[in-house]
Amino acid sequence: MKRKNIEKVIAPPPHHWVGDGFKVHNFIPGTTLTNMERMNPFILLDYNANHHFPPSDKPRGVGVHPHRGFETVTIAYKGRIQHHDSSGGGGIIGEGDVQWMTAASGILHKEYHEKEWSKEGGQFQMVQLWVNLPARNKMEPPKYQAIKKEDFGRLTLDENGSEVEVISGNYLTAYGPASTFTPVYLMNLRLKKGYKLPVNLPANYPTALLVIEGSVLVNEIEKATVDHFILMANDGENFTIEATNDALVLLLSGEPIDEPIAAHGPFVMNNRREIIQAFDDFNRGKFGFLED
Ligand code: MN
């Protein structure tokens, strides 16, 4: 077994707003990776770093928009998010919970701060990840997985509260509840100061860490503080993460989808013809209807 080295520690790029509710730093593709291929199956990662929103009677967020060809995975670390979609579905992503939405052939939805949370305001921190679908699954019917934090796979590491929470894939004997189309590892590493976690993943899986809280030392050499993104090289299987302060780290890793990417805004397909088709279907109302 060979060591998986660090390719780069990436500081949060300047933020931009998605609607008026999501103040995000884009790490994938971002200004460093610059393309959707490097982390494929992870083709986008927007990170709303911990931010205080004042109370508002009108929930902040982003209005009706489509998606096709991939899945959106929303992790609410702080605050609550409400969503509605063109299939009549909707729900609330509670603090700590995850929504795994398979847009696949297409969906219209809107995403807002949850109404009651919005009235109070407060600290808000979230991740939205876009997970690519292989060509064979891009035109499947859309679906949701609403995953409560109680349903995460859980492995207790010590008596001080260090633990791994698995959303998808597995860490040793703890398995995540999310079903995926290709192998995807997504987990929260909650490590108390001084805990050193060994990780073993296939060498060719694109792998990264996002420090949500605290700070860590990776492979005993590289320190990363809160809001930093650690891109691992595809050169080996084993690495270690040690908490230098109580830390919460999102780990993402997955089997590469080795297919061409054609992307335009909310559509991620394999070629230009399919992108034109997506716009055409959208304009013809084939994604359904959702009131703003
Ligand atoms: Mn969306």
Q: What is the pLDDT of residues 241-290, one digit of tens each?
A: 999 999 999 999 999 999 999 999 999 999 999 999 999 999 999 998 89
Q: Compute CA distances 240 → 71, 129, 198, 200, 216, whole Å.
A: 29, 24, 4, 9, 10
CA of 66 to the centre of ligand 1 (A): 7
Q: What is the pLDDT of residues 26-68, one digit of tens each?
A: 999 998 888 999 999 999 999 999 999 999 999 999 999 999 9
CA of 236 to the centre of ligand 1 (A): 34
Give pTM, 2 decimals. 0.97
> How many CA atoms within 13 Å lie on the side-chain side of 263?
18
Decide if 268 contacts 36 (C-beta within 8 A).
yes
Decide if 132 contacts 43 (C-beta within 8 A).
yes
Q: What is the pLDDT of residues 83-96, one digit of tens each?
A: 999 888 889 999 99
CA of 100 to the centre of ligand 1 (A): 11
CA of 109 to the centre of ligand 1 (A): 6
| Mean local confidence (pLDDT), 223-249 | 98
What pLDDT score does 90 carry? 85
Instruction: Name residue 132's beta-bridge partners.
Output: 70
HEC per residue, 184-206: EEEEEEEECCCCEEEEECCCCCC
What pLDDT score does 291 carry? 85
Instruction: Name residue 144's beta-bridge partners.
Output: 101
User: For the residues of 206-249, what is the DSSP string, one character each?
Assistant: -EEEEEEESEEEETTTEEEETT-EEEEPSS-SEEEEEESSSEEE
Q: Report how far residue 153's alpha carbon sits from residue 195's, in angstroms, rounded to the nearest whole number.
A: 20
The token duo for 213 is 């809280």
Name, in order, each residue with C-beta under 8 angstroms of 53's C-beta and a sequence gap of 6 or more. Answer: 21, 60, 79, 113, 118, 121, 122, 124
Q: Report how far residue 167's alpha carbon sits from residue 148's, in angstroms, rounded to the nearest whole number.
A: 10
CA of 195 to the centre of ligand 1 (A): 36
CA of 276 to the centre of ligand 1 (A): 20
Decide if 4 contacts 203 (C-beta within 8 A).
yes
CA of 130 to the centre of ligand 1 (A): 9
The percent of residues in the chain predicted with pLDDT above 70, rounded, is 100
CA of 203 to the centre of ligand 1 (A): 31
CA of 111 to the centre of ligand 1 (A): 7
Q: What is the pLDDT of residues 178-196, one digit of tens each?
A: 999 999 999 999 999 999 9
Residue for token digits 């890793």?
253
CA of 64 to the centre of ligand 1 (A): 8
Residue spans of alpha helices (H) in the chain: 30-33, 115-120, 272-283
CA of 102 to the centre of ligand 1 (A): 11
Phi and psi angles of residue 184, each rounded to the nearest 5 degrees, phi first:
-130, 125
| Mean local confidence (pLDDT), 118-124 | 98
Confidence of residue 292 (pLDDT cuts 50, 70, 90): confident
